[in-house]
Structure 1
């Protein structure tokens, strides 16, 4: 008697078909709460970016590096408070003029989130606790910021996790043969990482890199 393959089995088959070696997780900002916040928000519906011939970067990575240069003069312990006091219009000129939704720029969302964290005393990377409801609500309570980029924010601070964005969700959906929610894709990927004995963010980044590079064109539909 043939036992039907489970969703996890199908996902593991799709993962096994990806080229190796996998692209490595780039590392994030384990000591920079401010840069992790900027990266997380700038990543919303925006490309990661590529390095140009002159050494500068495009995309979300470029925005983070530009801000990093502008904040070099600020003491490490004051980085997050400095971001919290930034004029959103001035910050927008450093980052770009993208919006999280029609009525709100990413720069204003970043400043608001920084202010909210500063208000509860979360001003350094070591202060953030991913499983603490108050910390999660501080981020997701900002209009335009949700659970997917919250998880990515924590990943950038060296915590494990899965950023179940469009590429990840589509990969899982193709693998199991039906549409799946962001939360469903996240759960399955966490199961797969456990089964494969790899970090969740390692698997997440491998799938994201493969999917964004190929458009998933060689995956069965």
Structure 2
């Protein structure tokens, strides 16, 4: 599916209606292992909220628990440490969520970590989003796909758009027809270029609005 000029114009109109100031991108990680845990745990799971005791719920909570679990490991060994985890034990640190029937997120995280270690990608500085081998290190794991691969790279401070359900639905409502996630992500990137803003910043502004409002203020897709 190819975008047209009216598609971009309609998306820009929808973006102009977002509440200002936009909610800021919360930032990523210096630790590659933390980014990997976050990317996988975010699949069909809420980001999370802080509790009164300082801990967090959701995917953010899982990352913080893992960082506490691995705080004794030096930076250069963290991906190797994650790759060596027993998935069943790791579930107790994270949770028992699954990426699909029969595979836990903990197992997917360990498998991806092993694949990265095998090709020597063990620190954030090593990752190259356009490298096919690096991409396959993530998407080659059953249950992990292109949307959260892009999010993983974003968490390691590369620009991008995580075209999840909220982003895709926002774009679909803006252009008035259903669209695949790849189309939605590409159109948001094009809009970011037109607006001279970072892709991550626009992504987060749309996601924050959509996930907070449920897009109730936008017309249903015909």
**Equivalents in 1 of 2:116, 2:154: separation in Å?**
17
Cross-structure match for 2:110: 111
How far does residue 5 in structure 1 lie from its aligned partner after superposition? 6.6
Cross-structure match for 2:155: 156
Cross-structure match for 2:137: 138
Cross-structure match for 1:80: 79
1:54 aligns with 2:56: no
How far does residue 220 in structure 1 lie from its aligned partner after superposition? 2.4
**Equivalents in 2 of 1:97, 1:69: separation in Å?**
18
Cross-structure match for 2:13: 13
Cross-structure match for 1:198: 197
Cross-structure match for 1:209: 208
Cross-structure match for 1:25: 25
How far does residue 171 in structure 1 lie from its aligned partner after superposition? 0.2
Q: Normalising by structure 1, report the TM-score.
A: 0.97
Cross-structure match for 1:174: 173
- In the alignment, structure 1 segments of 5+ residues that lack a partner are none
**Equivalents in 2 of 1:113, 1:97: separation in Å?**
17
Root-mean-square deviation (CA, aligned residues, Å) is 1.0
How far does residue 219 in structure 1 lie from its aligned partner after superposition? 1.3
**Equivalents in 2 of 1:28, 1:50: separation in Å?**
17
How far does residue 103 in structure 1 lie from its aligned partner after superposition? 1.2
1:124 aligns with 2:123: yes
Q: What SS is found at the alignment partner of 2:99? A: strand
**Equivalents in 1 of 2:94, 2:6: separation in Å?**
44
Deviations 1:130-168 (A, max 9, x none): 000110011100000000000000000000000000000
The number of equivalent residue pairs is: 217
**Equivalents in 1 of 2:5, 2:74: separation in Å?**
55
**Equivalents in 2 of 1:84, 1:36: separation in Å?**
14
After superposing on structure 2, the runs of 4+ consecutive aligned residues of structure 1 that deviate more than 3 Å are none
Deviations 1:61-109 (A, max 9, x none): 0000000011110001101100000000010000000000001000000
**Equivalents in 2 of 1:87, 1:190: separation in Å?**
38
- In the alignment, structure 2 segments of 5+ residues that lack a partner are none
**Equivalents in 2 of 1:148, 1:28: separation in Å?**
16
Q: Normalising by structure 2, report the TM-score.
A: 0.96
Q: What SS is found at the alignment partner of 1:114? A: helix
**Equivalents in 1 of 2:208, 2:102: separation in Å?**
31
How far does residue 19 in structure 1 lie from its aligned partner after superposition? 0.4
**Equivalents in 1 of 2:166, 2:119: separation in Å?**
34
Deviations 1:114-139 (A, max 9, x none): 00000010010000000001100111
Judging changes above 3 Å, is the alpha-carbon distance between structure 1 residues 80 and 165 closer, same or farther for their aligned structure 2 residues? same
